[in-house]
Structure 1
Amino acid sequence: MLIVDDNELMRTLLRSILRSGGYQVIGEAKNGVGALELAQRLRPDIICMDVVMPQMSGLEALQTIKGMYPETAVVMVTGTPSVDNVHQSIQSGASGFIVKPFKVGKVLDTLRQAWRSARPGAVALSGGPESA
């Protein structure tokens, strides 16, 4: 699992939620540029990425990542959901959408669904895939 958010507090909170759900966080980035670098180097199964970030938005990074690694599940995160953001995210290949403030159950459910949709037939562990 790779976490991408420009807000350190949000990364910390999301990391805690993910680890409590059985996910292994293998990297963190604070913008889309860092997300691309880590996606190339670490090849995560799932990426949780904020929509609005400096240098390169989450939507821009999503399009590039899905172009390079279509098998990677990318779940977009936002504090201000809009129909346009959701539509663009889904059209660009996002596997799900999480709205801030985080609700632990919703975050974990969304990630489980993203994992299953990215890997049909894959079996997730009770909380989440340890290899993510």
Structure 2
Amino acid sequence: MSLSAKRAVIVDDNESIRMVLRAIVRQAGLQVVGEARDGNSALEVIERCNPDLVCLDVLMPGRDGIEVLGELKRRRPHVRVLMITGKADRETVETMIREGASGIVVKPFNAARVIETIRRAFGLAN
């Protein structure tokens, strides 16, 4: 299976991080079809763009990423969600897993780690 037909949405309140993630996700072979800068607009963008993968920041204004994750997985259980976070304490990680995260990328991250996590989320070995 190739990732080239897969579509991604990036959600992060930091424009620089969105820009870096956009480049990394494209490098992994996915098509970036939408972006959002907060939890409130994230679900609208996801509904409109119908992605296979969402890169979702945890700490954002409005609704946080964990809230968005729970709602997203109820609406679209098949969508893979990579949580992007600087907050990797045990409780937060357990909550993300329980809510259905496909992978967790801890900031600061590098391209290789993000691509590896994307591939793992789709069941692809490196």
TM-score, normalised to structure 1's length?
0.85
Match of 1:6 among 13, 17, 28: 13
**Pair 1:34 & 2:78 matched:** no
Secondary structure at the aligned position of 2:113 is classed as helix
Q: Tell me the secondary structure at the aligned position of residue 78 of structure 2.
A: coil
Look up the SS of the partner of 2:59 in the other structure.
coil
Q: State yes or no: 1:24 paired with 2:35.
A: no
Q: How does 1:1-132 map to 2 (within 5 A)?
A: 1-116=8-123
- The aligned amino acid for 2:94 is H
Tell me which of the two structures has the higher relative contact order, counting C-alpha pairs closer than 8 angstroms and 6 or more residues apart. Answer: 1
Contact 1:2 1:28 in 2 (8 A): yes
Q: Determine the C-alpha separation between the residues in 1 that align with 2:120 and 2:28.
A: 13
For the residue of structure 2 that corresponds to 1:2, the secondary structure is strand
Q: Give the % identical residues.
A: 44
Aligned AA (2:41):
G
Looking at secondary structure, tell me which structure has more strand per residue. Answer: 2
Whether the aligned pair in 2 keeps the contact of 1:46 and 1:115 (CA below 8 Å) is no
CA contact (8 A) 2:55 2:82 kept: yes
Q: CA RMSD in A?
A: 1.5
- Answer yes or no: is the 8 Å Cα contact 2:34–2:46 preserved in 1: no
List structure 1 segments (4+ residues) > 2 angstroms apart after TM superposition.
none
Cα shift at 1:84: 1.2
